[in-house]
Every structure is written in structure tokens, then in C-alpha cells.
């Protein structure tokens, strides 16, 4: 990819095509990006069949996990799904949050928004809405979301630090996220990383796992935990489109690999901006924040 805008346009174009494909084509493809393997059926997708709230019409087979499994959604919660596609995880979240809750799906692709709204209308849901928007600049007010979920989407976003920063912004204090995504261990061959098909559908665009988790820690999230990790095995008929036989053998024998992980983390209940304290006899005071930092207070305002 030449730059972030080129990447976004490529993703938008690819997922517009996917939204207009029939479900059978998506299901037999490389994560929806194309009919790229005769050896496997849905390389990354987890089985939603027994998940409550699941609607087959909204499942395009594009995910790499079941983030709602670890999301701890409660009745009445406001839930945000990043990269909501045809609405699959939104409808699962709606089952958990109930009629008194609210579910918001944000997707970059207009064709996906149309498809998701049609599915919601068929189900008669009044508390599920879909908005077109960029995950790096979410169309939501700050501090209104209890739980953020996402399924195999942030690996497609060029600026993951900015994306997770937006997650932090829209979450309420003490709110949390559960995100399934693709990460790398070791170095995968450059041609896999640069392929548009692989970028939109499977593995390219993913960060090394330690870098991915590092962004989450650096932004100040707490209780960061990998709830689930599973390998994504790319079959030879996919690899052979990008690598020679010798390169495939070298790749397989190396420690490099592609994994689906489901990560959860919490926004601190107290932050630098909202922690206050009372001055001591010397006119200053300190409070230990939920982030683990110690913050000095302004005696005039009593606030950190």
C-alpha cells in the first residue's frame, strides 16, 4: 500500500464487492476476498451456529473470532461494534443488551451499511442503528459506550494507535472492549503483506502481537488480557500465489505465523482529567490514579 488513503480506498472497494456477493461466494472464499483456496472453507471464521442472537443472513463469514463471547455485555448496556458489516455481531450484542440497551454499528463501506439496515428492518429491531464512519474518527460522542466489540477489522485500519485512541474516547470510564483481530508472530513474506487480496481478506495489515498489545497498554487501558488465541493456517494453494515452492517451505519451517486473538481491556475508572483531591497542610496533595500514576493537585481547584 502506498499510503493510508490508498489503503482505505482499497478496503472500501473490496468490502463493497463482498457486500454485493451472495453468501455462498463469501463462505467459500478467502475470508470473503476471493475464491482463493480449494483446500479450506472459511480459513478464519469461528462457528456462530449456537450463539444466541445469531442471524445467518447477517453473517458474511468475514470474522476471525466471536468477540461477544468474552464481552460481558449486560442488560441495558450501550454497545458499539467497529466494522459492523451486515450486522452479525450487532444482533448478537442486541440479544445480550436486550430491548432496554442500545447497539451501534459503524462501518466504512456504504454498501455494508445498506445491507445491515435491511437486516435490522427484517428483524424489527428498534434499538440497533448503523452509521457510516471511519474507525480512526468515530462518529460518536465521547464517553457514551459501555462495551466495544469488533471482529477482524482493526487489522485493516492504517493507524491502529488512532483507532484504539477512539475506542478509549467513546468508552465510559470503567467501560471495556472485547476485540477479535489478526496478529503476527515472526516475519511473514513481504509479498503476502503487500497483496490487496490478502490485505482485505486475511492476514496483511496485521501487526506483530507484541506491538498490537503495546498500543493498548500505551494508551492507558487496564486489565489487558488475551482471552483466546488460535493459529490461522494458510494452505499451499493460497501461499503458492505469492511464494515459490522454496519460499513456502522456508515460511512453514520458520517460527513465523498468523494468529487470531481476542483481546479485552478496560478504560480506567479514574483518569488524569477527572481525578480530584483535597490539599494537605502544605497546600499540595497527591492521589494515585487507576492508571497507577501519581498525580499532584492544584490547591486552588483541588483537581489533578
Per-residue pLDDT of 133-176, as tens digits, reads: 999 999 999 999 999 999 988 988 889 999 999 999 999 999 99
pLDDT above 90 (res 69): yes
pLDDT above 70 (res 35): no
Domains in the chain (CATH in brackets) are 4-269 (3.40.50.150), 271-304 (no CATH)
Burial (Cβ within 10 Å: 0-12, 13-18, ≥19) of residue 266: middle
User: Full-prediction pTM beyond 0.85?
Assistant: no
Q: Residue 130's closest CA among 71, 95, 84, 77?
A: 84
pLDDT above 90 (res 277): no
Q: Residue 140's closest CA among 81, 219, 72?
A: 81
pLDDT digits (tens, 9 = 90+) for 249-267: 888 888 777 888 999 999 9
Spatial neighbors of 261 by CB under 8 A, at least 6 apart, are 65, 180, 181, 183, 209, 212, 226, 228, 229
- Cα angle 209, 12, 42 (rounded to 5 degrees) comes to 55
Residue, of 20 and 254, whose pLDDT is higher = 254
Say if strands 222-232 and 207-208 run parallel, antiparallel, or are unpaired.
Answer: unpaired
Would you place residue 20 in the very low, low, confident or very high pLDDT band (cuts 50, 70, 90)? Answer: confident
Q: Hey, what's the cell of 57?
A: 443472513
Q: Hey, what's the cell of 234?
A: 494458510
Whether the Cβ atoms of residue 128 and residue 157 lie closer than 8 Å to each other: no
Amino acid at each position: 500500500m502506498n499510503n493510508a488513503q490508498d489503503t482505505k480506498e482499497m478496503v472500501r472497494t473490496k468490502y463493497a464487492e463482498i457486500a454485493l456477493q451472495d453468501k455462498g461466494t463469501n463462505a467459500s472464499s478467502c475470508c470473503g476476498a476471493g475464491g482463493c483456496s480449494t483446500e479450506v472453507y472459511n480459513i478464519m471464521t469461528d462457528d456462530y451456529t449456537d450463539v444466541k442472537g445469531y442471524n445467518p443472513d447477517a453473517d458474511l463469514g468475514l470474522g476471525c473470532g466471536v468477540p461477544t463471547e468474552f464481552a460481558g455485555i449486560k442488560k441495558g448496556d450501550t454497545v458499539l461494534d467497529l466494522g459492523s458489516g451486515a450486522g452479525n455481531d450487532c444482533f448478537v450484542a442486541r440479544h445480550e443488551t436486550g430491548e432496554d440497551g442500545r447497539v451501534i454499528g459503524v462501518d466504512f463501506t456504504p454498501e455494508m451499511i445498506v445491507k445491515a439496515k435491511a437486516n435490522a428492518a427484517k428483524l424489527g429491531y428498534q434499538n440497533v442503528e448503523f452509521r457510516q464512519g471511519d474507525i480512526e474518527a468515530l462518529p460518536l460522542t465521547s464517553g457514551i459506550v459501555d462495551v466495544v466489540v469488533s471482529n477482524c477489522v482493526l487489522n485493516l485500519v492504517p493507524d491502529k494507535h488512532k483507532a484504539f485512541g477512539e475506542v478509549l474516547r467513546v468508552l465510559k470510564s470503567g467501560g471495556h472492549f472485547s476485540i477479535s483481530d489478526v496478529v503476527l508472530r515472526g516475519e511473514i513474506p513481504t509479498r503476502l503483506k503487500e497483496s490487496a487480496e490478502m490485505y482485505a481478506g486475511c492476514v496483511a495489515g496485521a501487526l506483530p502481537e507484541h506491538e498490537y498489545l503495546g498500543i493498548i497498554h500505551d494508551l492507558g487501558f487496564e486489565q489487558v488480557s488475551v482471552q483466546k488465541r488460535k493459529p490461522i493456517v494458510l494452505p499451499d494453494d493460497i501461499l503458492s500465489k505469492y511464494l515459490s515452492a522454496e519460499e513456502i517451505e522456508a515460511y512453514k519451517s520458520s517460527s513465523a505465523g498468523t494468529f487470531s486473538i481476542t483481546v479485552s481491556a478496560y478504560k480506567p475508572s479514574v483518569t488524569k482529567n477527572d481525578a480530584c483531591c483535597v490539599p494537605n497542610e502544605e497546600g499540595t496533595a497527591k492521589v494515585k490514579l487507576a492508571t497507577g500514576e501519581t498525580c499532584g493537585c492544584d490547591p486552588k481547584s483541588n483537581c489533578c
